[in-house]
Amino acid sequence: MPGVSDHRDVAGPDAAAVMAVASASLGRHLSAPMLLAGGSDRSVLLRCRDHDGGSVVVKAYPRTAEGAGSFAAEAAGLQIASGTGLAPEFLAADTDELVVVMSDLGSGPTMADLLLGTSAAAASSAVLGWAAACGELSAATSGRRGDFGPLVTRYTRGPARRPFADELAESILRAPERAALLGVTRPAGLADELADVASQVRPDRYPVFSPGDLCPDNNLVTGAEVRLLDFEAAGIYSVFLAAAYIRMPFSTCWCVFRLPAELSLAAESIFRRAVCGPWPALADDRAWQPGVRRGIAAWTMNSMGWLLRASLQRDRPLDDARTSPSTRQLMRHRWQVLLAELESAGELPALAELMRRLLAATTGWRAAALPLYPALR
């Protein structure tokens, strides 16, 4: 799990109660819970000793609507991914108590640790391994996509979580009103182009199964392999959203810096080869390139919700405790990347013009250009 090498002993009724639920779900006794880094206000992670001398990881979610939605997605997602060797194996779940038990992948650095570290070779290898794991998971689960929805329903108590595709479409279409917060007016034709972006990244077009949150700190590096963690946002997504995550890179993360162009291209190529298995049409650049550009546009418009809002309040690091870009630095970088993609292709001219206007309106931010990841400088 994220940061599994950083843990402490846990004592108290909360850990004991979670472990008791996990033991009952698993059908065998667990003991010696240790708290793992990687939990949050959305979840708690425990490593527990199994009766056979091994260990399992137990994840418990808060009794809230968000916690229930995350639990259902994770329980369903881990079941879809089980057997691929690319993620923890699903072992058991308690739907009433919102507890999932999964196999323990052991300790090791995350991809974020390596990218923010000092070894260029280790960081580059992790990025390529991560791209391979993402693509291989999508290919290996292509025949199981239809099982995901029923599994989510099985693990859902209370109202179902709103589909991410609907939230994303709404966020894309709200870009003009968010730009207006900077005094930026909408170019003619923008509404039609945003509608095109929203329609092209819906999950009914080249759908793939994904953990959803592919941030570098959700990927464990074990030797020469990368394993995907955190399925709280698991779902069926457009392949172009996953590909854009590689090219941008890392569309929704706190630890975002640039990748060298050649490494980014190699990672995208590895991912693309894998997803061409279930979707051979993606080998054609006429399908792939416009789709990935619209994926980048979708994520960029989405970031104009949370990231622009934070940037307007003040410029501060995305993470106060770890190496990260500032809010304004990353917001401008997102606009710059999308503008470069659209200008090079001669696509979506109104959206490209919106990016120019946003960049012009924020020159006073004096945000430094986003550098390469520390390990790759």
The structure's pTM equals: 0.93
**pLDDT averaged per 10 residues in sequence order, the chain, 377 residues:** 33 74 95 79 86 92 93 98 97 97 94 97 97 97 96 94 95 98 98 98 95 94 92 97 96 95 98 98 98 98 96 95 96 98 98 98 97 98
- Helix (H) or strand (E) run with residue 194 in it: helix 190-200
Q: What Cα–Cα distance (Å) separates residue 219 from each residue in 134, 231, 324, 339?
A: 10, 11, 17, 29
**Domains, the chain:** 7-103 (3.30.200.20), 119-376 (3.90.1200)
Cα separation of 77 and 73, whole Å? 6
Return the closest-CA partner of residue 212 out of 308, 114, 74: 74
Would you tell me how many other CB atoms lie within 10 Å of the CB of residue 344?
Answer: 10
pLDDT at res. 152: 97
**Distance of alpha carbon 8 from alpha carbon 135, whole angstroms:** 34
pLDDT at 15: 85
Are 127 and 226 in contact by the 8 Å Cβ rule? The answer is: no
